[in-house]
Structure 1
Amino acid sequence: MASDTRITGQFTIPPELSDKRLDQAAAELMPEHSRSRLQSWIKSGALTVNGKTRKPRDKVMMDDVLDLDAEPEVQVSWQAEPITLDVVYEDEHLLVINKPAGLVVHPAAGHADGTLVNALLNYAPEVENLPRAGIVHRLDKDTSGIMVVARSLIAHTSLVDQLQSRTMGREYEAVVVGSLTGGATVDAPIGRHPQDRKRMAVVPSGKPAVTHYRLVERFAAHTLVRCKLESGRTHQIRVHMTHVRHPLVGDPVYGGRLRLPKGTTEALREALAAFTRQALHAKKLTLEHPETGEIVSWEVPLPEDMLQLIEALRKHARELEHGDY
Structure 2
Amino acid sequence: MTAENRITATFTVPSSLSDKRLDQAAAELMPEHSRSRLQGWIKSGALTVNGKTCKPRDRVMLDDRIELDAEPEAQVSWEAESITLDIVYEDEHLLVINKPAGLVVHPAAGHAAGTLVNALLHYAPEVENLPRAGIVHRLDKDTSGIMVVARSLIAHTSLVDQLQTRTMGREYEAVVVGTLTGGATVDAPIGRHPRERKKMAVVGTGKPAVTHYRLIERFAAHTHVRCKLESGRTHQIRVHMAHVRHPLVGDQLYGGRIRLPKGTTDELREVLSAFHRQALHARKLTLEHPATGAEMSWEVPLPEDMERLLAALRKHVQDLERDDF
Give TM-score scaled by structure 2 length: 0.97
Alignment match, 1:28: 28
Aligned length: 324
- SS of residue paired to 1:204: coil
CA distance in 1, matches of 2:289, 2:69: 24
| 1:38 paired to 2:38 | yes
Unaligned runs of 5+ in 2: none
Change (3 A) 1:150 1:176: same
State the alpha-carbon separation in 2 of the partners of residues 3 and 128 from structure 1: 19
- 1:141-173 CA-to-partner distances (Å, cap 9, x unmatched) read 000000000000000000000000111100000
Partner of 2:286: 286
1:4 Cα deviation (Å)? 4.3
Structure 1 residue ranges (4+ consecutive) displaced by more than 6 angstroms after TM superposition: none
Matches within 5 A, 1:84-163: 84-163=84-163
In structure 2, give the amino acid aligned to 1:290.
Answer: P
**CA distance in structure 2 between the aligned counterparts of 1:18 and 1:193, rounded to whole angstroms:** 24
Q: Distance in 2 between matches of 1:10 and 1:200?
A: 30
Q: Verify: 1:176 aligned to 2:198, yes or no.
A: no
* 1:102-121 Cα distance to aligned partner (Å, 9 max, x none): 00000000000100001001
Q: Which moved more, 1:66-75 or 1:220-229?
A: 66-75
User: CA shift at 1:324, angstroms?
Assistant: 7.4
Bigger shift: residues 24-33 or 241-250: 24-33
Q: Distance in 1 between matches of 2:324 and 2:270?
A: 18
Trace 1:63-78 onto structure 2 (pairs within 5 A): 63-75=63-75, 77-78=77-78
Paired position in structure 2 for 1:222? 222
Question: For structure 1, which segment, 69-78 or 263-272, has the greater mean C-alpha deviation from structure 2 after superposition?
Answer: 69-78
Deviation at 1:322, TM superposition (A): 1.5
Deviation at residue 71 of structure 1 after TM alignment? 2.4
**Distance in 1 (alpha carbons) for counterparts of 2:135 and 2:302:** 22
The farther-off stretch of 40-49 and 100-109 is 40-49
Q: Aligned pair 1:231/2:231, yes or no?
A: yes
- Aligned residue runs from structure 1 range 228-307, under 5 A: 228-307=228-307
Structure 2 Cα separation of the partners of residues 265 and 4 of structure 1: 60
Q: Output the amino acid matched with 2:278.
A: Q
Aligned-pair Cα RMSD in Å: 1.3
Report the identity percentage.
Answer: 83
1:280-308 Cα shifts (integer Å, max 9, x gaps): 00000001110111111100000000000
In the other structure, the counterpart of 2:12 is: 12
Report the CA distance between 1:128 and its aligned residue.
0.6
Q: Normalising to structure 1: TM-score of the pair?
A: 0.97
Query: Structure 1: which 5+ residue stretches go unaligned?
Result: none
**Which deviates further from its counterpart, 236-245 or 6-15?**
6-15
Using the TM superposition, give the Cα deviation of residue 72 of structure 1 relative to its aligned residue in structure 2, in angstroms: 2.0
Counterpart residue type for residue 241 of structure 1? M
